[in-house]
A = this chain, B = another copy of it.
Amino acid sequence: MIGIFDSGVGGLTVVREIKKLLPDVPVIYFGDTARLPYGNKSQETIQKFSREIVEFLRGKGCRTIVIACNSASALAADYLRKEYPNLEIYDVVSSGAEAIVEATKSKKVGVIGTTATIGSSIYKKKIADLNPEIQVFAKACPLFVPLVEENWIHRPETKKIARTYLRELKLKKVDTLLLGCTHYPLLEKIISGVMGRRTKVIASGAKLAEELKKQFANYDKGKDEYYVSDLTSHFEKLAELILSKEIKIKKCTI
């Protein structure tokens, strides 16, 4: 059983990628919608929240944990690995860094994410560990999450904001741009449009799913479970938009 968590329902974009490669693996998803977003919170708070969620998932029998939230991956993944040495912990930042190193040819790459993720410089560090020759240009885009939450996915206002945010990265002529936030794949069309054809826009979900597939050569089929800490019809709609199917989401206070 794979436990997956995010600050909200954006992490379902990672579930979507996992299900492409491992369609029948049972996942337990937890979205901390009562306390989202994590992107502008401190490391201490994000670690505390992440630990509470891992306790919940462990209680449900998960031995493999996927941190599908970039802010939590950036600020709490190492902490969680130390606290829970017996759990197998995957995180979107490590997978994203690997995906970027594989994809770039010019060795000039861009990363966008929340204030917390970009402020942590985690992508720069992880990418430098893998290949120190790669130049990384990072940019926080804090309005992208509320724009997705507002469902302004194809709006001119969103395009205008994307142009403002991405101007620097475009000028640097990066050949690869990583979407370092699980909400951003929903804006992929606008972001790709602004960046132009020479930039490959990638997300970390696909790479993380590949890594998981290696571990789960054989597994017992099972039912998926979806939990959130606060349930509004808005989240149900967003979840359906991401997964392209109706799911049963339960509310659960941790």
* Chain A residues engaging chain B, CB cutoff 8 angstroms: 33-35, 40-42, 44-45, 115, 142-143, 145-147, 149-150, 152, 157, 160-161, 164, 229-232, 234
Smallest CB–CB gap between A156 and chain B, Å? 8
Chain B's nearest CB lies how many Å from the CB of A4? 22
Task: For the A-B complex with A34-B41, A45-B230, A142-B146 known, give 9 more contacts whose Cβ atoms are closer than 8 Å.
Answer: A33-B41, A34-B45, A41-B232, A42-B231, A44-B230, A115-B234, A143-B143, A157-B161, A160-B160
Partner of A42, one of B41, B145, B150, B230: B230
Chain B residues near A230: list those with CB within 8 A.
41-42, 44-45
Pick from B41, B147, B149, B160: contact of A40, CB below 8 A.
B149
**Given the complex of chains A and B, what is the CA–CA distance between A34 and B230 in angstroms?**
15
Which chain B positions have C-beta within 8 A of A143? Answer: 143, 146-147, 150, 152
Residue of A33, A150, A152 ringed by the most chain B CB atoms within 10 A: A150
Residue of B nearest to A163 (CB): B157
Offer 20 A-B interface pairs, CB within 8 angstroms, sorted by A. A33-B41, A34-B35, A35-B35, A40-B234, A42-B230, A42-B231, A42-B232, A44-B230, A45-B230, A142-B146, A142-B149, A142-B150, A143-B143, A143-B147, A143-B150, A145-B146, A157-B160, A157-B161, A157-B164, A160-B160
